[in-house]
Homo-oligomer: A and B are copies of this chain.
Amino acid sequence: MSNRVAVIGSGNVAEALSLAISANDRYDLVQLWARNVDRGRLIASLAGCVYENDPQKLAAADIYIISVSDRAIREISEQFDFGDAIVVHTSGSCGADELSSVIPRQGVLYPLQTFTAGRTVDFQEIPFFVEAADDESFRAIFSLASALSGSVYRSDPELRRRLHVAAVFVCNFVNHMYVAGEQLMQENGLDYGLLKPLIAETIRKMLTSPSPRPLQTGPAVREDYPTIEKHMALLDNNPRLRDLYRMITESIISDKKNNS
């Protein structure tokens, strides 16, 4: 069994994976390797494993998880001799070929979740997407993912990138809508927190529904043009938010026409 795992990196994904693997009975986290000493030491101490930042002292492992920024994957993967161990990255956007081409057994372990330093999430429900160049590596990575989560799928670079785009809409773009809401509240001397009951209820409804489309409410889906006009006029002093308002409103109306 390939049960020795080393994590390379000190970002939020590296932290979350390190903690989850160290808490797992079937795998041993043998090392946290990271250039960033402060973050590296912190994560290693939280996960109860050895910290290292000397490229010459990478621990022997069966699976190496390179969890660094997309731009650094290539360089980091070229820095080590992994022998015939399995090496994966965790990026939503990079091809499997982003890893050094001299690594014989390589793959991808992509968790569809947002991670934050210091926050614990329930790994059992995180969807993991697995890729590998050969079947044996695939089975080993799939087994690791299955030890962490009840939701593991075979993927490919194209599919993973599409998942990443969907994630951008429902996570990053949603957050930007909150930033816009906060700005509008602040411009009126109002506390952003007043929006939170509305935000929380919007999500509770959505999470208990099989599809968000029937839940669409508001002036756009009602094609309530007088209200839309009033809102646009109010945003006249903020062309960026006005253009955003207009474009999303148009998209809601167009989506409704295409799906009714």
**Contact assessment for A184 and B169 in the assembled complex, using a CB-CB cutoff below 8 Å:** yes
**Contact assessment for B199 and A207 in the assembled complex, using a CB-CB cutoff below 8 Å:** yes
**Contact assessment for A171 and B197 in the assembled complex, using a CB-CB cutoff below 8 Å:** no
Query: Is A121's CB within 8 Å of the partner chain B?
Result: yes
* Complex interface bits, A164-193 against B, C-beta within 8 A gives 1, otherwise 0: 111111111111111111111101101011
Interface residues of A, CB < 8 Å — how many?
87
Task: Give the contacts of A196-223 with B (CB-CB under 8 A).
Answer: 196-203, 205-207, 210-213, 215-221
Query: Is A75's CB within 8 Å of the partner chain B?
Result: no
Min Cβ gap A110→B in Å is 12
**Integer count of this chain's copies in the complex:** 2
Min Cβ gap A197→B in Å is 5
Min Cβ gap A227→B in Å is 5
Q: CA separation between A247 and B179, bound complex, in Å?
A: 15
Query: Which of B70, B203, B247 contacts A243 (CB under 8 A)?
Result: B247
Give me the interface of A with B, judged by CB distance under 8 Å.
70-71, 93, 112-114, 116, 119, 121-122, 125-127, 151, 159, 161-185, 187-188, 190, 192-203, 205-207, 210-213, 215-221, 224, 226-227, 230-231, 234-235, 240-241, 243-245, 247-248, 251-252, 254-255
18 further contact pairs, Cβ within 8 A, besides A167-B181, A168-B220? A93-B226, A93-B227, A112-B197, A113-B198, A116-B215, A122-B197, A165-B245, A166-B184, A168-B219, A169-B177, A169-B180, A170-B199, A171-B202, A172-B217, A172-B218, A175-B212, A176-B255, A244-B251
